[in-house]
Structures are given as structure tokens and as C-alpha cells.
Structure 1
């Protein structure tokens, strides 16, 4: 699986599942609904809807997906550092942030390589 749209689709599904698992685990752990746990789910839905645009080589949609992924990685890095260096310690939230960061880097890397290959292909077609 090396196509950017496939990796984006897998990452978006992971984000959706992580958010749903997070809100469910919070409910069973503390007995209340913490809707901020759905933030990865909303980002996952945005990225999921970007998948067809990436597959059709729509540059604008690809850049939106890269921007959303970058924003999510930065937010997760900030939250992970707060949890580790704060008094929270290592728990369920930190694992979720680590999964989001690792998947985001994987997805962003594939998108960047895809953009480079697309530019190279268009440059070669222009020369022909």
C-alpha cells in the first residue's frame, strides 16, 4: 500500500476509531461523555472525504489533506508534551496522541512523496 490515497484512507479510519474508542473508554472509566475525545474523529472524517480527491489527483484537496494532517500532528505533539512533562504521567491519552503522531507522519510522508512524483510526472509530460 504505497498510494497516498490508500494511506490517507487507512489513517482517516484509524482516527475515526481512536476517537470513538476514546469517548467510549472515557464513559466507562469516568461515567461521563467528554466530547473533546471526538476531535480525532472529526479530523478523520475530513481526511476520509479528501480520499477521492487525492485519488483523482486534485492538488487542492491533496494540500487540504496535508494541512489537516500537519495541524493534527502539531496539536498532538503539544498535548503529548503537556501530558509527559506535566503531572499527568503516561496514560490512555498519551497513547492516543502517540498513535495520531505516528500515523500522521506516515500519512504526511506519503503525501509529500506523492506530490513530488506528481510534479515530476507533469514536468516530464510538458517536455514531451
Structure 2
């Protein structure tokens, strides 16, 4: 997958599944609803709706998707570091944070490459 919209779509689906998994797993494990587990799901839904705009090369939507992905990755890094250094445990929550971080880096890399290619294309059109 080289296209940014494809990577964004896969990452958004991963976020939706990770959020749903975290929400349901918490209920079966502890017996209560923890709505903060739905944060990745909400980000995933928003990013999923950004996919058609990225595919149509809408720069504003592409930048919004990159900003949301960056925000999510930074938040996941902070939360992962708190979890590891706070209770020194590695559980379900840390795995979800790790998936969010790695997927986000993959998505951001794709978006940055896409933005660079778009600028090169525009510069080549301006020269000719």
C-alpha cells in the first residue's frame, strides 16, 4: 500500500477495532464500562471519514488527518510511558498503545511522503 488514503483507511480500521476490543475486554475483565477505551474508536471513525478527501487530494482534509494522527500518537506515547514507568506492568492496555503508536507512525510516514510527492508534482506542473 503506497497510497496515503489506503494507509489511512487501514489505520482507521485498526483504531476502530482496537477501541472496540479495549472497551469489550474491559467489560469482560472488570465488569464495568470504561468509555475512555473508546477514544481510539472515535479517532478511527473521524480518520475513516477523512479517507475520501485524502483520496481526492484535498489538502485541508489531509492536514486534518495528519494532525489527528500526530495528536493520537503523542497521546499514546505519553500514556504508554506512564503505564510502563508507573506500575511496571505490560498488559492489554500497553499493547493497544503500542499498536496505536506503530500504526500512527506508519500512517504519518505515508502522509508525509504523499505531501512531498504532491508538492513535486505541482512544482513540475508550474515549470512546464
Tell me the TM-score range normalised by the shorter chain: over 0.9
CA distance in 1, matches of 2:74, 2:21: 21
User: Structure 1, residues 9-68: CA drift from partner, whole Å, max 9, x if none?
Assistant: 000000000000000000000001101000000000110000000000000000000000
What TM-score do the two structures reach when normalised by structure 2? 0.99
Equivalent in the alignment of 2:109: 109
What is the CA-CA distance between 1:88 and the residue it aligns to?
A: 5.0
What TM-score do the two structures reach when normalised by structure 1? 0.99
Ranges in structure 2 where 5+ consecutive residues have no aligned partner: none
Query: How do residues 67-78 of structure 1 correspond to structure 2 at under 5 angstroms?
Result: 67-78=67-78
CA RMSD, Structure 1 to Structure 2 (Å): 0.6
Ranges in structure 1 where 5+ consecutive residues have no aligned partner: none
Query: How do residues 25-40 of structure 1 correspond to structure 2 at under 5 angstroms?
Result: 25-40=25-40
User: Structure 1, residues 105-128: CA drift from partner, whole Å, max 9, x if none?
Assistant: 000000000000000000000111
Equivalent in the alignment of 2:9: 9
Equivalent in the alignment of 1:85: 85
Q: Number of aligned residue pairs: give it.
A: 128
CA distance in 2, matches of 1:52, 1:90: 37
